[in-house]
Amino acid sequence: MYTIFDLPKIPKHLILSVEEVLELDNKFTGLSNNYSTHNVQDELKDYLQLMFPEHQFFRYQLLKGNIPIHIDVSRDIAINYIIDAGGSNVSTAWYDDTRTTAIESVVFQPNIWHSIRTDIPHNVNNITGQRFAITITKGEDKKLLNKATREREEYDKLINTSSKNGD
């Protein structure tokens, strides 16, 4: 479900503050007040592109509240680097196809590169503050475009239900 990479930490001077990131355009097209993504600035993108030359999307990611069980609609794998976990015991869990039984769970530490399977039902739990990360994706996967269309409505419904429930 995940892989930890032995890669260098991102130099702190390349990472914008949360306040600066929130001033950037939100690239997440779903309907959620709990989740946003923002393109990294050119200096950070140039640094990351050297580490991940086959990838093209480099974004800051902000999460608050628990993220409901979902399958990412635009990617099968994400490479993440957590800057601030958003709490002391924030976990990512993956579920069986019924989305009722957790099959694996992990607490990722800040400043450690890792990849996660996003084509399997998963969620993020125990966020008490704001989770701040960098997420990297190879690009548009044509086989996922049809999947994205079918699942966008379901995903938006989950996100909106979670937001209305105060998560």
Whether 65 contacts 155, CB under 8 Å: no
Looking at the structure of the chain, the number of domains it has is: 1
Q: Which of 16, 135, 138 is nearest to 67 (CA)?
A: 135
Which residue range is the domain that position 148 belongs to? 2-164
- The predicted-structure confidence for 22-76, as pLDDT tens digits, reads as follows 999 998 877 678 899 999 999 999 999 999 999 999 999 999 988 889 998 888 9
Quote the tokens at residue 75. Answer: 């990617």
**Mean pLDDT computed over every residue of the chain:** 88
Label residue 139 left, alpha or beta by phi (over 0 means left) and psi (-120 to 50 means alpha): left
- The predicted-structure confidence for 104-120, as pLDDT tens digits, reads as follows 999 999 999 999 999 99
Res 143 pLDDT > 60: no
CATH of residue 83's domain is: 2.60.120.10
Distances (CA, A) of 77 to 14, 65, 166: 24, 22, 28
Lowest average pLDDT, out of 60-74, 79-93, 123-137, goes to 60-74
Q: Which of 130, 164, 108 is nearest to 36 (CA)?
A: 130
